[in-house]
Amino acid sequence: MTWLPLSARANRRLLTRRLRKRHIPAPTWFDIEQRDPLLARFGHRERLKLRILASEILWRKTFSPVRGMILTEAIKAYLATRIAIVIYALETPGRSTALDWLRNWRELIVYPSAFSPHRQPITPIGGNPLGLVLHTDPVEQGETSYQGPLVINWQDARPHALRQIPCQVLIHELAHKLDMLDGSSNGHPPLHASMDQQLWHDTFQAAYIHLNRRVKMGRKPGLNPYAATNPAEFFAVCSEYFFASPGRLHAIYPQVYKQLSLFYRQQPLAGIGGNKSLKGTYAESCE
Ligand SMILES: [Zn+2]
């Protein structure tokens, strides 16, 4: 999809046409709007774009339930919307669409709850093996590999501070996939031409070293200490905070927040606060 500069009326017509072709049904979308706190900062027109983008993700990607997971259309739409929020502003007109950033996976496998990393291998669509699993996340309970699908669990029952806002595991695993787009998983995704590669490296390295030092000294790290595992996990965990708890990330590592805002081309902190409550979750209503 391409968002070219058009007159407001022409743009509205274009959006309406796209929405008519393939769309998340209105009742489902309204339910997501009511219940997903991450949508609170998006205005009416931005939500229209998000709905179209999420609808296209639903159409292009396969959402596969395993181990008894009941993947309703509403849950699929919710997951697609979360993906759309992450890639919402990644389009570069004339060069790449937002959906191009999802080119290294085509299937999202959803477990009902935490799964064992020693489980029997599952076969994704196409019958190909999952490939080398690079990240099996014990806390987030998701999984990512270069060749394979995204693997998440819908409901992690274990207590976790971040679980107040559900499904960061999806943001986490998606961040790994974005990181892998340039062929390596190192916390340095392919940056936009306008960004400073060295500044990104130096900023993330300094914060990563700082976090590791605090963890080793037994001090409260401020972020999920799992971020201290390696630079790839640091980027994935910081991406979770960037979207789900931006104030905390900005308070601890403001320069990391700034680099992520340049990469994702979003300012979650500017839109969250006041009476836009983060309480109440979609997950609760789906139980
Ligand atoms: Zn991870």
Q: How far is the CA of 138 from the centre of ligand 1 (A)?
A: 8
Q: How far is the CA of 10 from the centre of ligand 1 (A)?
A: 42
Tell me whether residue 11 is in a domain.
no
Mean pLDDT, range 163-190, rounded to an integer: 86
Tell me whether residue 9 is in a domain.
no
pLDDT band (50, 70, 90) for residue 277: very low
Q: How far is the CA of 231 from the centre of ligand 1 (A)?
A: 10
Structural domain containing residue 201:
16-286
Which protein residues have their CB within 5 A of the ion that is ligand 1? 135, 137, 233, 236
* pLDDT tens digits for range 52-95: 999 999 999 999 999 888 899 999 999 999 999 999 999 988 88
CATH code of residue 235 = 3.40.390.10
- The tally of domains found in the chain comes to 1
Given the structure tokens 């990563």, which residue do they identify? Answer: 208
Residue from 259, 266, 243 nearest 38 by CA: 243
**pLDDT above 60 (res 140):** no
Tell me whether residue 6 is in a domain.
no
Of 143 and 81, more confident = 81
Residue from 34, 33, 35, 107 nearest 71 by CA: 107
Tell me whether residue 273 is in a domain.
yes
Residue 276 confidence (pLDDT): 37
Establish whether this prediction's ipTM goes over 0.95.
yes
Mind giving me the DSSP string for 66-88?
-TT----HHHHHHHHHHHHHHHT
The DSSP bridge partners found for residue 92 are 96
